[in-house]
Amino acid sequence: MTATEFISKRQFDLNAIIFIVSMAIALRYNRESIIIRNVGYVFDLFWIALAAITLLRGRNRISGNSSDYKPIALRLMLPKIFIWTYGIVLVIVGLADIEALSTGFTVLATFVLPISALYLFRSKTVDYVFWANLITFLFEVCMILMQSGPSALLTAVASIGTADAVNPFEHYSWTFLSAFFFVYYTYFVNDKELKYRWVYQAISIVMFVLGFKRILLAAVIVVAIIFVAANRMQKKNGIMLLRAVLVMIGIGCILMVWGLYDGWLFDLLNSSGINMMGRTIYWRHIVNLTEFDITYLGNGVNWTYQWLADNLYYLGGAGALHNDILKMYAEIGFVGFLIWLYLFLWSIPSFIQKKYGYRALKAYAVFTAMIFVIYATDNVDTYYGPQFLYISFIVTQAMLSKAQEDDVAPGPVRRASNSASLSTFKHGVIR
């Protein structure tokens, strides 16, 4: 074997290692002592550029299923493209500040990254990000233990179910990713296709427990119910259930926004005794500055972030609304909000159901339901990791679903098949 052949055979492994390391660094974006906030966007641009160059040079041609990959990738980008385009229009007509819009470019780049990574690494992308997330987790645990000692672990466990307690691990990206990974490796992967699947699940559970967040537990419970219910039904009834769930999510989003502007939702939260940890303070400010009216056009992309950072600094430098549903309404207006919901909850799932089949629809419904539950009290629309996994999970399942014959038997969705087209997608770089 020549040196060239030796290097060529290991080129994919080298690319994978570089990708895992770069993602591990990007996922931990900053620490008090090590500020590397913009490094994630640098890596975004690197992998996006590499995918673009590979595409233009024709080295990664998708044999047999290129017509399947591109449509799903473009469709999943539609909500972001719509928001970004609408934001530009608001700037042009003088209703929004271009300074806030500039942050939207970085968010859009982050959304394009998983599309690029999937083009380069195919279904292995998810597993690579899992290992990157584990590296991030181990690094942060070591740093916290060095600073606070072993008692930090006991503090994290003791804080479970107690909103008043401070969890030193709660605010790190791997907290969110652990919940997504647990759902994926539990419901969309089986033991035959992933050796030692239980290890992936166990690691996800450990990360989930240490970084425990109430909204993540609620999201996992909701999607588990949806998945199990759909799997117990015949295909036709399962499709009806999944589509109904997505429609109900849209109705729930509208009711939430209306409830906040009308005031009854604030009253309900106050009377319930749920500790919102200051979130309602942010929400009230934004509600008071905007209006619930069909003529309301919105204040522009990332306006909420900019306003909170500029005006609520006395609350510890607040810069995130902790409610992506209200954030969308405040930034893109009444009609824009409805279009955003329509794209997410009707247009895209209709397309996926028609072109990619039941399994792909199931994956879309499960992870969309999960992310919308989290939207209600957090900021995952702009979080690096969750958005990456959301796209990666759906595209992976859509491609594998398309490559297989539909199988309505209950159980985890298989990722493997003997078909040539599936093998093409499954084994790393496409040749």
Contact 332, 292 (CB under 8 A): no
Is 431 or 339 the better-scoring residue by pLDDT?
Answer: 339
Residues 6+ apart with CB under 8 A from 93: none
For residue 171, the model assigns a pLDDT of: 63
Sequence-ordered list of residues with C-beta below 8 angstroms from that of 21, at least 6 positions apart, any chain: 132, 135
Whole-angstrom distance, CA of residue 431 vs CA of residue 425 = 10
251 band by pLDDT with thresholds 50, 70 and 90: very high
Given a cut of 70, is residue 192 above it in pLDDT? yes
What is the share, in percent, of the chain residues with pLDDT greater than 70? 80
How confident is the model at residue 143, as a pLDDT? 84
Sign of the dihedral through C-alpha 329, 332, 337, 340: negative
Over residues 227-232, the mean pLDDT reads: 97
Q: Where are the alpha helices (DSSP H) in 320-427?
A: 324-342, 348-356, 358-375, 384-403, 420-426
Report pLDDT for 188.
94
pLDDT at 417 over 50: no
Mean pLDDT for 48-60 is 82
Question: Domain extents for the chain?
Answer: 15-408
More confident of the two residues 25 and 2: 25
The region of weakest confidence among 78-87, 180-189, 239-248, 409-418 is 409-418
Residue 105's pLDDT is 59
pLDDT at 338: 98
128-175 residue pLDDT tens? 999 999 998 998 888 888 887 887 777 777 777 665 556 777 766 788
Query: Given a cut of 90, is residue 5 above it in pLDDT?
Result: no
| pLDDT-wise least confident of 6-10, 370-374, 400-404 | 6-10
Q: With 80 as the cut, is the pLDDT of residue 99 above it?
A: no
Q: Which residue has the higher pLDDT, 421 or 318?
A: 318
pTM, to two decimals: 0.88
| CA nearest to 127, candidates 54, 48, 188 | 188
**43 contacts: CB under 8 Å, gap ≥ 6:** 22, 23, 25, 26, 113
| 348 compared with 37, residue with greater pLDDT | 348
Of 299, 303, 282, the C-alpha closest to 290 is 299
SS3 assignment, position 1: coil
